[in-house]
Amino acid sequence: MRLISRLAMFGALFCLATGFSGCGYVRYLIPLNPTAKSTALPLTHAAWDGLLKKYVNDQGLVNYKALQADSLALNAYLQDVSANLPGRSWTQNDRLAYWINAYNAFTVQRIIRSYPVKSIKDLGGDKIFVNTPWDQHFIKLGDTRYSLNDLEQRIIRKNFDDNRIHVALVCAAMSCPRLRNEAFTGPRLNEQLDDQARGFVNNPAKNKLTPADKPQVSSIFNFYPKDFAKNGSTSVQNFINRYATQKIKLDASLSYVPYDWSLNVQR
């Protein structure tokens, strides 16, 4: 689940559950480059880009029924993702684009495998670190299985110091950022992430920025407050003002919009 950030707790539970004697810091349990073939040239993500343009609208809502019928194309793209992990010659932006696309595409695959469904939360149990949809090891990278939490919490957040990831990773819920209807790419990544941040911050369904001293903002800012106080920002308020057309006060008292976990489906 995207709201889980206590990785040290996960590490302790992992050690207790498995008896793994080499447990240290959690970041070392999941390497940046899992055992798999790496490629000199970055993956183009053209296949994912085509699927997004075809089945995702400008609001980030997905035609899951139609995409389910075209699942072979999505599966073929994810096989390429699995077989071609970032190589040492890839730029940092190429690497981050790879992991964001992988997270979003595997999330979509998880939905269409069980569609129709009302919420991604219906696809797993309620035991954090054990059987939630974000803890299921259905992602194959090389010869290893991973969960969505592995990708986000133990690869992306630990290896890429960029708070804009939280407006790019999409958990298939209405309160998530919109699923961009184009793939992220290394050469355009900064432009795309800034555009995602502007769209998210200024979306009145996600953030109500008036009154300026008491705005109601997305619960995502409450999930990761320390992350939003990095990368040139000093606070959640400062991050919001970097992208907001309607500025809030830097000492504004924040309240949080309840999270809507219903599926981000076209109706």
Give the pLDDT band (50/70/90) at residue 220: very high
Q: What mean pLDDT is predicted for residues 245-256?
A: 98
**Close Cβ partners of 170 (under 8 Å, ≥ 6 residues apart):** 60, 103, 104, 107, 176, 177, 178, 179, 264
CA atoms within 13 Å, Cβ hemisphere of 160: 23
What is the pTM for the complete model shown? Answer: 0.87
Look at 75-79, 140-144, 148-152, 240-244 and tell me which has the smallest mean pLDDT: 140-144
Mean pLDDT score across all residues of the chain: 88
Q: What percent of the chain has pLDDT over 90?
A: 79
What is the pLDDT at residue 38?
A: 61
Structure tokens at 81: 């993702």
Rounded CA separation 113/124 (Å): 13
**pLDDT higher than 50, residue 219:** yes
Complete DSSP assignment for the chain: -TT---HHHHHHHHHHHH--TT---GGGTS-SS-SS-EESSPP--HHHHHHHHHHB-TT--B-HHHHHHTHHHHHHHHHHHHH-EEPTTS-HHHHHHHHHHHHHHHHHHHHHTT-S-SBGGGGS-S-TTTTSTTT---EEETTEEE-HHHHIIIIIHHH---GGGGGT---SBTTSPP--SS---TTTHHHHHHHHHHHHHT-TTT-B--STTS-EEETHHHH-TTGGG-TT-SSHHHHHHHH-SS---TT---EEEPP--BB-B--
**Max CA-CA distance within the chain?**
53
Give the pLDDT band (50/70/90) at residue 37: low
Rounded CA separation 162/153 (Å): 13
